Chain A
Amino acid sequence: MDAAAQSHFTGKEAGHAVEKRPWIFTRPTAKTGIVSWLTTVDHKRVGIMYGISALLFFLVGGIEALIIRIQLAVPNNTFISHQFYNEMFTMHATTMIFLAVMPLSAAFFNYIMPLQIGARDVAFPRLNGFAFWVFLAGAIVLNVGWFVKSGLPDAGWFGYAPLTSTDFSNQFKADMSTDLWVMGLQILGVSSVVGSMNFIITIINMRAPGMTMMRLPVFTWMTLITAFLIILSFPAITIALVELMMDRSFGTNFFEVSNGGLPILWQHLFWVFGHPEVYILILPAMGIVSEILPTFSRKPLFGYPIIVFSGATIGFLGFGVWSHHMFTTGMGTMATAAFSLATMAIAVPTGVKMFNWIGTMWGGHLQMRTPMMFALGFVWMFLMGGLSGIMHSAAPADAQQQDSYFVVAHFHYVLIGGAVFGLLSGIHYWFPLIFGRRIGEFWGKLSFWVIFAGFNITFFPMHFLGLNGMPRRTAVYDGNMGWNDANFIATVGAFILACGIGIYFAVMLYTYFKGEKAGRDPWDGRTLEWSIPNPPPEYNFAVTPTVHARDAFWYEKHHKEEIAKEKSAHAKEDEAHGGVHMPSQSWFPLMTAIGLLIGGLFFVNHKFVGAICGGTVMFLGIYFWALEGPGGYHVHPSEDDDKSGSYGKH
C-alpha cells in the first residue's frame, strides 16, 4: 500500500502546520529509497536496520571465532601471531556482545515491542533513529582497527587495568587500539542508554487501552527489565571508561599503580556493569522463548505472574553479585562468602522460569515448527549453561575453574545456547510478520540440527579441557598436555556450527526473495502483533486495539461475544475523524550521530581540532533537532487496507 498517497498535511486546525522552509530544514517525506531510510523515525525500519547490522556483525564475530579455533586446532600452531590472537579474542567478545547480541535484541525491542502493546510507535521516534545511528558509529570506531596501522583492540573485552595502561599497552605497538576500544564502547553506551530509556517510556506510557502491566506480553516485560538493567548498569562502565580515557589521554592516576591507583577498582566498576550485562543478553531471549513456547504448545504461558516476577528478581539480584567474577582477587572471606550466596540465590528465579516453560509444554499440543525447535534448543542448552554457572558461584570451585576453558564452555552455553538460540528462534518466529514470507520448514530444521550439533561438538569438550587445566586467552599450547584431541574436536565443531549458521543465513535470504507467502497470522498467534497485516503498514494499527485480556489477540479470536458486549466505539470514532498521527522524518538524528563519529575518531587520534569540528557538527545537529519540533502528519487508512479480518473491527 502506498502510504504517501493517503497521507496528507491536515493544516493548522489539527495542530500540524504546513511550513515553508529554507532548503536545509525541509523535512524529508520520501517513503522509499535511501533518504527514507537515513531519515526514518519508524520503529519498524529502525528495527530492521538494527537487525541487519547485528547479523552482519554476528558474521564478523563468527569469523573471528573461527580464526581463534583454527589457531587452537593443533598444538604449537603458528597460524597467527600472538598479537593477532589477542586482537581476535578481544574483538570476538566485544563484537558478539555489543555489536551482535545486544543490537539483535534491540532489533526485536524496536520492531516487536510497540506492536505487542498496540502502540503506533515508540515514545520518542527521532531519538530512536538516533540510537541506531549512534550504535553504528560506535561499531565503526571499534572496527576501524582492521583498516589502520595501529590494529584492533587487544586488551580483552574486560579491559583489565594494567593491561590497558599506556605503559603496558604501548610496549608492543604504538597503541591507539585501546583508545579505539574505549571510545567505541563509550559511544555504544550512549546508544544503549538512549534506546533503553525510549523503550521504558514506551512500555510504561504508550500501551493500548486495557493493556495493563499484568497483561503485557512476556517479551515486552523482559524488554522493560532489560532496559532498566541497561540504564542502571551502563553508567558504571561509562564512568570506568571515562576514567581510563583520562588516564590514557590526560595522565590521571585512576588505575596507575605507580601513582597510587588501584587496578582492582577497575574490576569492581567493570563487573558492576559486566554482571548485569549477562542478564541484558539473556533476558530478551527468555522473553522470546516465553512467546514461542505457548504459541506452539497451544496453551497460555504457565504461571505468567511468576515468570514476570522471576524476571524482575533476576534483574534485581543481578546487580548484587558482580564480585563473583573476582573471587580470586583476594577480597576477603566475608565478601567472597556473601557474593557466593547471593549468586546461588539467582539460580532460584532462573530455575522457576525453567519450570514455567516445562509447565507450559506439559499437556500441550506441541507443534514442532522451526521456531519451536530453536526455543526447545534454548531451554535445553540454557539449562546446561545454568548448571555449570551454579558451580562457579561456589568460591572454592571457582578458584579451580577461574580463567580455564571450563568458564569458556559455561558462558558459551549461556550466550550461544541461551541468548543466540533464543534470538534465532525469534527471527524464525517473527520473519513472516516482518517480511510477509515464511521460512521453509525443511531447511529451517536442517539449519537447526546442524547448528545444534556444531555447537555441542565445539563447546562440550571445553568442559573437559577446562577441568584438565587449559587456560583461556593463550594462543599456543604444548602437545603433551593432553589437550590435543578435545581441541581438535572443538575446532571441527566450530566449522560445523559455521556451516549451520551459513545454511540459516542462506535460507533467510532465499525466503526474503522467493519464500512462500505467509498469509495473515501464520502461527495462530496470541499477541497483538499478529492482529495486523504482514508486513505491517507504517501506521501499525488502523484502529487502536482495546485489550480485554492477557494474550489479547487470542482472546479476541476466541471470545467474540464477550468483547462485543463490552466494546465501546468511542475511540474508533475519534480516530476516524483525525486519522492516524504519524511523526515526520528528520535528518538531524543522523547528523548528530555523524558528528559524534567524527569527533570520536579524531579524539582517539588526539587530533583535538578535528574532535572539535565533529563536536560542532554534533552541536548543530542537536540545535536543529531541538528547534525543528516533532512535526507530524496524519494518515487515513482506508477500509480496504485492513479487510482481511481485522482486529478492532467487530
Chain B
Amino acid sequence: MSSHAGPIDHHHDHTTSTGIPNKKLFMWAFLASDCMFFGTLISTHLIYRLHPPPGSPDVKSIFSIELTSFSTFILLMSSLLMALAVNSLQKGQVRSTRQNLIGTIFFGLIFLACQVYEFSHFVHEKGLTLSNSIFGSTFYVLTGTHGCHVAIGVLWLVLMYIRSFKPADADQGRAWLIKGFFHLIVWGVTIVASMASMLGLVHAIQVGDGFGGFLHHHPVEFGVSILGLIVLWLLSRQEGPVDFGEANAMDVESMGLYWHFVDIVWIVIFTAVYLLEYL
C-alpha cells in the first residue's frame, strides 16, 4: 500500500506470520537451493582435481592470478555499491539509489568482461577448452555457471532500474513499459559495447599498449559505449513523481541478497579453484 505515512519499518512486515517479508524469505529459500547448486558444481571440480586423469594440464601455467584477483576485488566493490543502493532507498533517495544501481551494474560488467577475457585467453592462448580435458570441463562449467548468475544479476539490476521510472500517476497507463523497453534496448547495446571495450582495454593493458593502443584498436566499441552512456544519462533525467520509494526497499534488498550471495560464492570459487592451486 503506497499511502502509509511515517517512516517504514523495513525489517518487519505486519501482514506476514513471522514479520519477515515474503520476498526476503523467498530469497533465502532460493539461496539455500542455490547453495546446493554450487556445492554440487564445486565438489565435482574438486573431485576431479583430487583425481586428475593422466595428461591433465598444468593449471598454474594457465591461470593469470593477477587478473582474477582484480576482478574479485571489483566484484566485492560492486557488493558495497549494492548495499549503498539499498541504504539509499530505505531513506527514500531514489536518485542516489539509481546511481548506486548503475555503479553496481557497471562493476558487475567489469567482472563479466574479465571473465570473458579470461575464457577466450585460456582457449586461444593456453589451449584449454571445454572438451580437451576434464579440468577444462569442470573449470568452464563451474565458473561459467557463476558468470551466468552474475549476468542474471545484472539483468535484474537493469530491470529494477527501469522499474524505478514507473510513474506514480497510474492514469498515464502502461506507456512507460514500452518506453522502458526502449530503455532496455539502450541498456543492452551499451552493455555489449562496454563489455567489448573492456575486453579490449584489458587486452591492451596485458600486452602493454596502454589506453592509447586500446583507443586505436577499438574506436567503435568505445564510441558506442560512450554514446550509450550519454543516452542512458539523458533517459535517466526524465523525472516526475515515480512509483518507487521506501516501500520498494524490500525489492531492492532481496535483489541485494542475491547479489551478495553471488559474491560470496565467487569468494569460495576463487579460493577452491584458483588459490588452492598455489598452495
Interfacial residues, chain A to chain B (CB-CB below 8 A):
12-15, 17-22, 25, 123-124, 193, 197-198, 200-201, 204-207, 211, 231-236, 238-240, 242-243, 246, 250-254, 259-262, 265, 269, 272, 623-624, 626-628
Q: Can you list 16 contacts pairing A with B, beta carbon distance less than 8 Å?
A: A15-B3, A124-B22, A197-B29, A207-B17, A231-B30, A235-B37, A242-B141, A242-B145, A246-B130, A252-B137, A254-B137, A260-B53, A260-B134, A623-B159, A627-B166, A627-B180
- The answer to whether B133 and A235 have CB atoms under 8 Å apart is no
Taking the closest CB of chain B, its distance from the CB of A568, in whole angstroms, is: 16
The answer, yes or no, to whether B238 is at the interface (CB within 8 Å) is no
- The interface residues of chain A lying within 8 Å CB-to-CB of B34 are 235
Q: How far is the CA of A204 from the CA of B20 in the complex (A)?
A: 9
- Name the residue in B20, B173, B174 with the highest tally of chain A Cβ atoms < 10 Å from its Cβ: B174
**Residue ID in chain A nearest B34 by CB atoms:** A235
Q: How far is the CA of A476 from the CA of B32 in the complex (A)?
A: 46
- The answer to whether A231 and B17 have CB atoms under 8 Å apart is no
Write out, one digit per residue, whether chain B residues 1-45 have a CB within 8 A of any chain A CB (1) or not (0): 111000000000000111010100110011011101101110010
Taking the closest CB of chain B, its distance from the CB of A230, in whole angstroms, is: 9
Which one, B52, B134, B163, B173, contacts A21 given CB within 8 A?
Answer: B173
- The answer to whether A197 and B30 have CB atoms under 8 Å apart is yes
Which one, B30, B130, B173, contacts A19 given CB within 8 A?
Answer: B173
Which one, B17, B39, B170, B178, contacts A205 given CB within 8 A?
Answer: B17
Known pairs A201-B25, A240-B40, A254-B44; A17 contacts B170 (CB<8 A): yes
- The answer to whether B33 and A205 have CB atoms under 8 Å apart is no
- The interface residues of chain B lying within 8 Å CB-to-CB of A20 are 171, 173-174
B160-177 interface with A by 8 A CB criterion: 162-163, 166, 170-171, 173-175, 177
Which one, A205, A272, A624, contacts B20 given CB within 8 A?
Answer: A205
- Name the residue in B36, B131, B137, B170 with the highest tally of chain A Cβ atoms < 10 Å from its Cβ: B137
- The answer to whether B178 and A22 have CB atoms under 8 Å apart is yes
Known pairs A17-B170, A19-B170, A250-B131; A626 contacts B159 (CB<8 A): yes
Q: Is the interface of B mostly helix, strand, loop or mixed?
A: helix
The answer, yes or no, to whether B184 is at the interface (CB within 8 Å) is yes
Task: Give the A-B pair count, Cβ closer than 8 A.
Answer: 141
- The interface residues of chain A lying within 8 Å CB-to-CB of B145 are 242
**Residue ID in chain B nearest A25 by CB atoms:** B174
Q: How far is the CA of A240 from the CA of B47 in the complex (A)?
A: 14
Known contacts A242-B145, A272-B40; 13 additional CB pairs below 8 A are A12-B170, A20-B173, A21-B174, A22-B173, A197-B26, A205-B25, A235-B36, A253-B136, A260-B52, A261-B137, A262-B51, A627-B162, A627-B163
- The interface residues of chain A lying within 8 Å CB-to-CB of B56 are 260
The answer, yes or no, to whether B48 is at the interface (CB within 8 Å) is yes
Taking the closest CB of chain A, its distance from the CB of B252, in whole angstroms, is: 13
**Residue ID in chain A nearest B137 by CB atoms:** A252
- The answer to whether B29 and A205 have CB atoms under 8 Å apart is no
Q: How far is the CA of A234 from the CA of B178 in the complex (A)?
A: 37
- The answer to whether A251 and B44 have CB atoms under 8 Å apart is no
Q: How far is the CA of A12 from the CA of B163 in the complex (A)?
A: 19
**Residue ID in chain A nearest B3 by CB atoms:** A15
Taking the closest CB of chain A, its distance from the CB of B30, in whole angstroms, is: 6
**Residue ID in chain A nearest B1 by CB atoms:** A15
Top 3 A-B pairs, shortest CB-CB distance: A260-B53, A17-B170, A251-B131
Which one, A200, A238, A250, contacts B29 given CB within 8 A?
Answer: A200
Known pairs A20-B173, A627-B162; A235 contacts B22 (CB<8 A): no
The answer, yes or no, to whether B143 is at the interface (CB within 8 Å) is no
Taking the closest CB of chain B, its distance from the CB of A374, in whole angstroms, is: 33
